[in-house]
Amino acid sequence: MLGGGSETSATTLDWAMAEMVKNPRILKKVQDEKCEINGYEIPVDTKIIVNAWAINRDPKYWRNPDCFEPERFLDDNLGVDYKGNHFEYIPFGAGRRICPGMAFGMANVELPLAMFLYHFDWKLPAGMKHEELDMSESFGATARRNGDLFVVPVIKRPLLPPVK
């Protein structure tokens, strides 16, 4: 393992340096190279934040991007999942810094949501109409709802059978 790991890298470095000093044009080109991505020059120490919010709503990739249409993910042709393989949908990020808690996060969301929907029906309070529900977001590390959500649970399938 030591031989396989050190000899190979040392020989490659050795030859790379030999080729560079023998070809000064290439040496200079490599030394002059700066970090440039898609035509943008990225200076050292730049902090870059990926705007996942905008990417996940980009009309170039999403039909009716601002509409709640979860059925879009059932569409076989879409073939997009949340696991970081499809860059147009990155709720957990992608690449080597992808969210390491993805499986835990999914269980944390899916299980309670399934139980909320299976055991209860949900109504809005005081005769509020569903189209009146305020959906504005607040700014922050996560896009939380602007105000608290008030909903009235109506038992549909109790956890325990009714006592006789």
Annotated binding-site members for heme = 99
Residue 61 or 92 having the CB closest to ligand HEM: 92
Sole window of 68-76, 98-106, 125-133, 147-155 interacting with ligand HEM (rule: CB under 6 A):
98-106
Tokens (6 digits) for 118: 């299976």
What is the number of other CB atoms lying within 10 angstroms of the CB of residue 72?
A: 14
91 binds ligand HEM (CB under 6 A): yes
CB neighbour list of residue 99: distance below 8 Å, 6 or more residues apart: 92, 93, 105
Sole window of 8-16, 97-105, 128-136, 155-163 interacting with ligand HEM (rule: CB under 6 A):
97-105
Find the length of the chain. Answer: 164
100 binds ligand HEM (CB under 6 A): yes
CB neighbour list of residue 147: distance below 8 Å, 6 or more residues apart: 134, 136
Tell me, by CB under 6 A, how many residues bind ligand HEM: 13
Interacting residue ranges for ligand HEM, rule: CB under 6 A: 91-94, 97-101, 104-105, 108-109
